[in-house]
Structure 1
Amino acid sequence: MTAITPLPCQRHLFEIPDDVSYLDAAAWSPLPLVVREAGEAGLLVKSRPWTHPREAVPAQAERARTAAARLVGAATDDMAIVGSVSHAMATAAANLTVAPGGRVLRVADEFPSLRYAFDRLAAARGLIVEEVARPGDDDWTAALLAAIERPGAPPLAIATLTPSHWTDGGLIDLDRLAPAVHAAGAALVIDATQAAGAVPVDVGRWRPDFLAFPTYKWTLGPYALAFLYAAPHRQDGAPIEENNGNRPPASGARRYDRGELNDPVLLPMAATGLELVLSFEASAVAARLRHLTDRLEDGVAGLGLAAAPRHLRVPGVLGLRAPGGLSSGLLDRLREHGVYASERSGGLRLSPHVWADEGDIDRCIAALHRVL
């Protein structure tokens, strides 16, 4: 197999100072300069509406919708524009018909936006919520496959999955899991928040009923905007909010579009960020992220920090745990050295993206050696 050449560092597209190592893409990304400029131009539309006809704004919605569809391998008509992933998941849950007694399957310590709507659905429809515990060997995929295929278990109704665990980047291999979910006759709902823009995402390969992702993390866009893919057989449902734009004759996934859709600021920002990400080859992005997180892991060897084996974690996130937990104030001490990261579920989460270079990684390694 031919090795994939990693994407070169794209720091020149951002305004990140040389002495800042921002390794927190899994929380939210800085805006590329062109995305910020798109937002500033959008602000002028709202500031001076007499000079910018509103009729021009809907084209920005379709531009963003088209780019989002390309990113996940979908048709444009299969994408809805929503306000958040929680909005998307509430829409998905409201449009799944399930029989009582079935299981809703997910991993333990799942992100709230993928839990709450399905907890409500389970309570209303008499479903059993099954959370797969964190495996001692870090192999989420094997643990989930065992749960799906467990003899004597109640029938699987819905699997709500992500391509990785949000806390530490533990791999949840949907290439193996999606066929097992389909074979069980269950619905598949995917939260691609920590995947879209960081690794290749393909709805044609996974065949989800619904898939969602926001724009403020790996796709380099604004807050308060997200996209929902709805499979063609899931496009005749009811939106969770009714507005002029998503009522008939609206067709396809547009049936689930949010209200106040035509935002002159967020839409061009999202479209610009998505188009920038699309200008990179997805596998090359993943190869760059793997190079950076592997360098991080090598550099902290001997500090008593444990990470999942490389083949069991995604390229862009390195989760580090200490036997007795992280020391108090660790994030603050890292910031004093110009390193920005997150703590999630008791672990240090480091998540570089296309702006990060080897200097950022080495600064983080040096800071961890000093503060630990």
Structure 2
Amino acid sequence: MPAPAQELPCQRHLFEVPAEVSYLDAAAWSPLPLCVRAAGETGLLIKRRPWDHPREVIPAWVERARAAAAGLIGAGPDDVAIVGAVSHAMAVAAHNLASVPGGRLLRVADEFPSLRFAFDRLAAARGLIVEEVARPPDGDWTAALLAAIARPGAPPLAIATLTPLHWTDGSLIDLDRLAPAVHAAGAALVIDATQAVGAVPVDVARWRPDFLAFPTYKWTLGPYGLAFLYAAPHRQDGLALDEHSGNRPPAVGARRYDRGELNDPVALPMAAAGLELIAGWGVPAVAARLRGLTDRLADAMAALDLPIAPRSLRAPHILGIRPPGGLPAGLVEGLRRNAVFASERAGALRLSPHVWVDDGDLARCVDAIRASLGGRSGAA
């Protein structure tokens, strides 16, 4: 039995988040830790005076970032490609999946565009039936997806494009239960782990996806414009979207899918610094801290008579609030005026704290929401 995660204290001292700012929007994008900022500034100096810095040192940063990304998902460096965005990764995945016409392509409703558009194109080209599982009234996406996979008389399942949680509100999508069902159906499994890697444990050995992708600018505390694509060993001999000298033989494994202009002296050191910071804390410890924060927010929201999904149906790091009558107009803007930063997504107020959030942030957030709802009682 694994040892319990060591308690992780607040890491605000590693960020430049002012005391009066409550930033609970990591699911949108994170602030940069000081060490990640420093890595980027060093990279800018390299590009500013390239004659002082031999280009031969940059490939080492490529492999350092690749290895750090692989480590967070239980993969080996040879299994990970460096791409420009999750949309790029999903286009690569769709480009390399063949399927029999008439099969189903399964996903949840209100899915993020990066996981829809490339597969919509694939479905149209291959004659697949796109099936979107509707938001379940009881909030149990896992049960609804399992029922869809096993539905009697349904066309065969060809591809499942899934995420570990719904991006709009943190509703749990339990891949520990779903991945075996997808594999048993003989279907390909593609995972968008954008809202998971860095915040909750992700293990490709356990889920066995054909492809899995995540960016660096959210939970792994890195730069914009960089993402990683895991390709299972049997998916590593496919076609890249862009052809260049760096991803042709003798490139091995998932490097076949590496993007062009890979040797970025700014983004790669920043990504590596953020990924290694997460690894140093340990993802289980991060997840435990974030679960504590969202549980406290959930208790406070329940005290305000706001409906909250049961703990068993919530991911540890994102809390979604969906009032029956909808969110008050201008809620997010009103919170921002009180230095509380969150997002509205598909009718939900999405609160997504990370390791910089402290008790004062929670209290300020609850007070601002209470004020926006007309002073209902409740406490953090």
What is the TM-score of this pair, normalised by structure 1?
0.98
CA deviation after TM superposition for structure 1 residue 96, in Å: 0.6
CA deviation after TM superposition for structure 1 residue 4, in Å: 4.1
Asked if the contact 2:301/2:308 (under 8 Å) is kept, the reply is no
1:281-339 per-residue CA deviation (whole Å, 9 max, x = no partner) reads: 21111111111011111112243422211110100000001111111111111112110
Q: Which residue of 2 aligns with 1:274?
A: 275
SS in 1 for 2:320: strand
Q: Which residue of 2 aligns with 1:21?
A: 22
Asked if the contact 1:104/1:127 (under 8 Å) is kept, the reply is yes
Q: Which residue of 2 aligns with 1:57?
A: 58
Query: Residues of 2 paired with 1:256 and 1:52: CA distance?
Result: 27
SS in 1 for 2:242: coil
Q: Which residue of 1 aligns with 2:166?
A: 165
Deviates further, 127-136 or 319-328: 319-328
Query: Residues of 2 paired with 1:110 and 1:89: CA distance?
Result: 13
Asked if the contact 1:24/1:342 (under 8 Å) is kept, the reply is yes
1:114-152 per-residue CA deviation (whole Å, 9 max, x = no partner) reads: 000000000000000000000000000000000001111
Q: Which residue of 1 aligns with 2:131?
A: 130
Q: Please give the residue correspondences for 1:86-125 in structure 2 after superposition, counting only pairs within 5 Å.
A: 86-125=87-126
Q: How many residues align?
A: 372
Deviates further, 103-112 or 331-340: 331-340
Asked if the contact 2:67/2:77 (under 8 Å) is kept, the reply is yes
Q: Which residue of 2 aligns with 1:40?
A: 41
Query: Residues of 2 paired with 1:304 and 1:349: CA distance?
Result: 17
Asked if the contact 1:238/1:256 (under 8 Å) is kept, the reply is yes
Query: Residues of 1 paired with 2:278 and 2:192: CA distance?
Result: 19
Asked if the contact 1:304/1:323 (under 8 Å) is kept, the reply is no
Q: Which residue of 2 aligns with 1:354?
A: 355
- Tell me which amino acid in the other structure corresponds to 1:323: P
Q: Which residue of 1 aligns with 2:378?
A: none
CA deviation after TM superposition for structure 1 residue 34, in Å: 0.3
Query: Residues of 2 paired with 1:313 and 1:24: CA distance?
Result: 17
Unaligned runs of 5+ in 1: none
Asked if the contact 2:158/2:188 (under 8 Å) is kept, the reply is yes
Query: Residues of 2 paired with 1:354 and 1:183: CA distance?
Result: 38
Q: Which residue of 2 aligns with 1:187?
A: 188
- Tell me which amino acid in the other structure corresponds to 1:140: W
Q: Which residue of 2 aligns with 1:295?
A: 296
Query: Residues of 2 paired with 1:3 and 1:35: CA distance?
Result: 28
Query: Residues of 1 paired with 2:103 and 2:326: CA distance?
Result: 37
Q: Which residue of 1 aligns with 2:251?
A: 250
Q: Please give the residue correspondences for 1:211-222 in structure 2 after superposition, counting only pairs within 5 Å.
A: 211-222=212-223
1:334 and 2:323 aligned: no
CA deviation after TM superposition for structure 1 residue 367, in Å: 1.1
- Tell me which amino acid in the other structure corresponds to 2:344: E
Query: Residues of 1 paired with 2:306 and 2:350: CA distance?
Result: 12
- Tell me which amino acid in the other structure corresponds to 2:157: L
- Tell me which amino acid in the other structure corresponds to 2:168: T
- Tell me which amino acid in the other structure corresponds to 2:285: A
SS in 2 for 1:301: helix
Query: Residues of 1 paired with 2:27 and 2:306: CA distance?
Result: 20
- Tell me which amino acid in the other structure corresponds to 1:287: A
- Tell me which amino acid in the other structure corresponds to 2:304: L
Query: Residues of 1 paired with 2:295 and 2:68: CA distance?
Result: 30
Asked if the contact 2:175/2:207 (under 8 Å) is kept, the reply is yes
Query: Residues of 2 paired with 1:256 and 1:46: CA distance?
Result: 25
Query: Residues of 2 paired with 1:304 and 1:8: CA distance?
Result: 30
1:148 and 2:149 aligned: yes
Task: Give me the CA root mean square deviation.
Answer: 1.0
- Tell me which amino acid in the other structure corresponds to 2:145: L
SS in 2 for 1:147: helix
Asked if the contact 1:339/1:364 (under 8 Å) is kept, the reply is yes
Asked if the contact 2:302/2:308 (under 8 Å) is kept, the reply is no
Query: Residues of 1 paired with 2:282 and 2:76: CA distance?
Result: 19
CA deviation after TM superposition for structure 1 residue 5, in Å: 4.2
Q: Which residue of 1 aligns with 2:344?
A: 343
CA deviation after TM superposition for structure 1 residue 6, in Å: 3.2
SS in 2 for 1:117: helix
Query: Residues of 2 paired with 1:311 and 1:356: CA distance?
Result: 23
Asked if the contact 1:6/1:286 (under 8 Å) is kept, the reply is no
- Tell me which amino acid in the other structure corresponds to 1:89: M
What is the TM-score of this pair, normalised by structure 2?
0.96
1:85 and 2:57 aligned: no
SS in 2 for 1:307: coil
- Tell me which amino acid in the other structure corresponds to 2:10: C
Unaligned runs of 5+ in 2: 374-380
Q: Which residue of 1 aligns with 2:377?
A: none
Query: Residues of 2 paired with 1:49 and 1:4: CA distance?
Result: 43
Q: Which residue of 2 aligns with 1:198?
A: 199
SS in 2 for 1:57: helix
SS in 2 for 1:279: helix
